[in-house]
Structures are given as C-alpha cells and as structure tokens.
C-alpha cells in the first residue's frame, strides 16, 4: 500500500498493511514551532522553520521529517508554506523562525506581542514567554445585534478567522500543485472545511456568554447558528467544487467537551447542534467522496453515537485523559463505526514528561488497542507543544515503526 491507500483503508475500517501515521497533517495534529526547531537540530536538519498557523504558532513539517517518520498524510496548506514571502522572527525562547509576510504582529516594549485591526482594536495578544496568541476581542461580547446581516464582517474581527491565511495561488494553480503533490508523494490530502458552530459562538460571544445563551437566549443563539450554517454551506460549495475531487479528508472542528465532561447535556446537543451538523455533513456526502474529520477535544463520549449518525467518519483528538474516554471502551463500543485519528500518545503527561521508554510503552499499548481491524490513524492527542524534548518525539514515532515491524 502507498500512504493514501493506507489512510483510505483505515478510514474504511479495513486492516491496512501498517498503522497509518500523521504529523502536521492538520492544525490539530501539528507541532509547535519551538519543539519542531529543536527536533530538527536533534536530527541534524538545517532548514528554516516556517510558522504556517500563526495563532497557535505551529510549524510546517518538512518533507525530510515526513519521510523519516513515515507520515502518510499532508495538509494542503503546506502549499501556502512553500510559496509567498517570509521574514525572520525570534520566538519566546530565542528560536529563530519565519513568519509569512502578511502577518505582522506588533512587539511591545515589555516584549509581549499583539495584533490589531485597521482601527487600532487589539484582536489578540501573546504575553512574554508565551507560545501562542490569545483572542482578546469578541465582536458580540456585549450582546447580539438586532439582525445578523453583519455576521461575516463581525467574524473577520476574530483573530482565529482573520489570521487564517488562504493560499495566494489561484484555484487552477493550486489544483495543479495538489495533483502533482499527491502523485509525487502518494500521500493522502486533508483540508480544513472551515466549519465551526459552537466555537464560532465562543469566538463571537465569549464562552461563558454563549453557554449561558443556550439556557436563556436560545432563540437568538439559534438564529446566529442558522446564519453560520448558510455561510458554511457557501464555503463548502466553493471548496468542494475547487478541490473536492482531489482531497481525501475534510476537517470540521468544534470542541464539545472539557476534560471533566461535555459542555452541554445530550438533549441540548440534539436540539441545537445535531440537526445543523447533519445539514453540513449531508452536503459534503452528496457532493464529494471526502471523509469528514471532526476535531472535538475533551469528554465527548456521550455524543459519539449521534456524531456517527449525522455522518462524521473520523473523531480527533481522542482525548483519552478525559472523563469517560477510556481507549479500550471507545474501541469496543464505537470502533466499527468511527475512526479514531489521534489518541496515540498523551501530550499532557507522557510525551512531554516521560522517559523515552515510558513513551514507547504508552504508544505500543495504544496502537495495540486502537489498530485492530483498521479505524485508527496514529497521532498524538492534539498538537505537540513547545516543551516536548526532541528525543521524546523521536521515541513516539519510533514506537509506531516498531509496532509496524519497521524498526528492529
């Protein structure tokens, strides 16, 4: 099998020739620029690190690392990271990286960073010593507007939205490059669908306000969600018509859970979010053969049957350190119906703090659980953070190779 065949087999719940592997195939299975720069030094790779996700400060993973670690999937945004103009910046620990030329945050006298809009409004901040930007402006924080005619404009003030830079290539050239990339590498391709409902509510209203609205102002909240569905359908139409026959997996994202439990009860989810997800999933299924990847952090076990029912094929990051997210129980109950893309090593207590041998044991154990009969793509639980030592990253990916019989 080549990489694409391997990914498609796993997604179809067929046993692939080996466990497929992801690193940097999306902005939720990536690696922080500081950790990535340290990894390259450790491996003797002398290339500049390019930060393609500027909010989370994630690095574009070079093909040398992809080949070394046996990665099977590529984010189509890497085309953007290989084009355009870039300039050098020093991160919190002094690591020198490259930012895209369109992204020009202001460094303040105290060493912190911030981004502003054309009116001088601060949209995000990164304190001294921090490794990502935090959203600071919420357009509907003080209340919903009378109508949502300005919703798209309001969303452009959200740092997560305005700093998500699309390719500077026209659609024709982007198609050609992606077709060539897929043919030359044999990798599966993933793209973001840009679909968020709960999280865009958080980004517009602030989390506490939006969750309260679910109880006290549901009518207005649902009016905004319906507008978001309309916007997402328009966006999906453009993406699918341009690239839907080339890309294998399309990614949606909504963090439905915390570590201790879900953000809402099941009845609320079924009334407010489930029918809207179904509209969006149905559109993708009707107009393409792409598989739908849902990124949802936290304790989401109670939602999994409904997520399967509406059409999600893949769940990520499989946050097994959350309540009710035991790997063996998840695989036994849902492993025939949904793909677990993630859960391969704990990023909060093992890969960052464990010894290489502890990491090896954790990865081997999780691969043993999740890989039976397909339905598993190895990736850490969410992005690899700045603090993770390079030898621990190598240990994790070496353990997958060992499980696959590729490392003796």
| pLDDT band at residue 281 under the 50/70/90 scheme | very high
pLDDT tens per residue, range 39-91: 999 999 999 999 999 999 999 999 999 999 999 999 999 998 888 899 999 99
Alpha-helical runs (H) found in 140-258: 151-155, 159-162, 171-185, 198-205, 207-216, 218-243
Q: At what angle do helices 218-243 and 274-287 cross, to 10 degrees?
A: 10
Mean pLDDT, to the nearest integer, of 311-327? 97
Let me know if 5 is exposed, middle or buried by CB neighbors in 10 A (0-12, 13-18, 19+).
Answer: middle
pLDDT tens per residue, range 209-232: 999 999 999 999 999 999 999 999
3-class state of residue 253 by DSSP? strand
Contact 210, 264 (CB under 8 A): no
H/E segment holding residue 334? helix 327-334
3-class state of residue 393 by DSSP? helix
| pLDDT band at residue 169 under the 50/70/90 scheme | confident
pLDDT at 408 over 70: no
Mean pLDDT, to the nearest integer, of 157-182? 85
pLDDT at 160 over 90: no
**What pTM was estimated for this model as a whole?**
0.96
- What's the pLDDT at 256? 98
pLDDT at 163 over 80: no
Interacting residues of 246 by C-beta distance below 8 A, sequence separation 6+: 175, 178, 179, 182, 189
- What's the pLDDT at 165? 62
Mean pLDDT, to the nearest integer, of 181-187? 97
- What's the pLDDT at 317? 98
End-to-end CA distance of the chain: 21
Mean pLDDT, to the nearest integer, of 276-288? 98
Strand partners, 98: 50, 88
CA dist 31 and 366 (Å) reads 20
Mean pLDDT, to the nearest integer, of 365-373? 97
The percent of residues in the chain predicted with pLDDT above 90, rounded, is 94
- What's the pLDDT at 81? 85
- What's the pLDDT at 404? 97
- What's the pLDDT at 305? 98
Does the 3-29+150-403 domain belong in CATH 3.50.50.60? no
Mean pLDDT, to the nearest integer, of 370-379? 97
CA angle 290, 294, 159 (to 5 degrees): 110
CA dist 85 and 351 (Å) reads 34
Interacting residues of 177 by C-beta distance below 8 A, sequence separation 6+: 79, 169
- What's the pLDDT at 80? 85
- What's the pLDDT at 33? 97
Closest CA to 38 of 100, 111, 89, 97: 97
Domain ranges across the chain: 3-29+150-403
DSSP string, 35-59: HHHHHHHHHT-----BEEETTTTEE
Average pLDDT of the chain is 95
Residue whose pair of structure tokens reads 């207590």 in the numeric block: 349
3-class state of residue 270 by DSSP? helix
Do β-strands 96-100 and 86-90 pair in parallel, antiparallel, or remain unpaired? antiparallel
Token code pair at residue 349: 């207590």
Report which DSSP code applies to 21: B
pLDDT at 114 over 80: yes
pLDDT at 167 over 70: no
């Amino acid at each position: 099998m080549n990489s694409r065949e391997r990914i498609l087999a796993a997604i179809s719940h067929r046993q692939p020739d080996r466990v497929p592997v992801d690193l940097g195939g999306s902005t939720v299975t990536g690696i922080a620029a500081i950790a990535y720069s340290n990894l390259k030094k450790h491996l003797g790779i002398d290339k500049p690190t390019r930060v393609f996700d500027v909010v989370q400060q994630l690095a574009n993973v070079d093909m040398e690392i992809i080949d070394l670690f046996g990665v099977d999937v590529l984010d189509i945004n890497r085309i953007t990271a290989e084009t355009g103009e870039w300039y050098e910046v020093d991160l919190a620990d002094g690591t020198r990286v490259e930012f895209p030329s369109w992204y020009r945050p202001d460094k303040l006298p105290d060493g912190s960073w911030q981004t502003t809009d054309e009116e001088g409004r601060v949209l995000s901040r990164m304190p001294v010593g921090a490794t990502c930007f935090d959203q600071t402006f919420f357009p509907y924080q003080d209340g919903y507007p009378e109508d949502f005619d300005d919703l798209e404009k309001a969303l452009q003030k959200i740092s997560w939205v305005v700093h998500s830079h699309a390719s500077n290539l026209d659609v024709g050239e982007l198609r050609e490059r992606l077709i060539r990339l897929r043919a030359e590498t044999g990798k599966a391709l993933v793209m973001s669908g840009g679909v968020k409902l709960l999280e865009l509510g958080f980004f517009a209203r602030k989390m506490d306000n939006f969750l309260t609205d679910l109880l006290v102002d549901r009518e207005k909240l649902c009016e905004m969600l319906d507008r978001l569905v309309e916007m997402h359908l328009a966006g999906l139409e453009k993406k699918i018509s341009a690239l839907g026959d080339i890309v294998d997996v399309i990614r949606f994202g909504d963090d439905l859970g915390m570590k201790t439990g879900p953000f809402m009860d099941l009845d609320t989810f079924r009334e407010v979010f489930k029918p809207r997800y179904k509209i969006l999933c149905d559109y993708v299924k009707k107009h393409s053969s792409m598989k739908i990847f849902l990124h949802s952090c936290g304790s989401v076990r109670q939602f999994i049957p409904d997520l399967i029912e509406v059409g999600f094929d893949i769940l990520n990051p499989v946050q097994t350190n959350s309540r009710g997210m035991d790997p063996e129980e998840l695989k036994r109950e849902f492993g025939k119906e949904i793909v677990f893309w993630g859960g391969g090593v704990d990023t909060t207590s093992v890969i960052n703090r464990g010894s290489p041998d502890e990491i090896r044991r954790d990865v081997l154990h999780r691969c043993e659980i999740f890989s039976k009969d397909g339905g598993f793509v190895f990736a850490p639980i969410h992005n690899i953070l700045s603090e993770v030592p390079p030898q621990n990253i190598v240990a994790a990916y070496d353990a997958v190779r060992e499980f696959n019989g590729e490392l003796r």
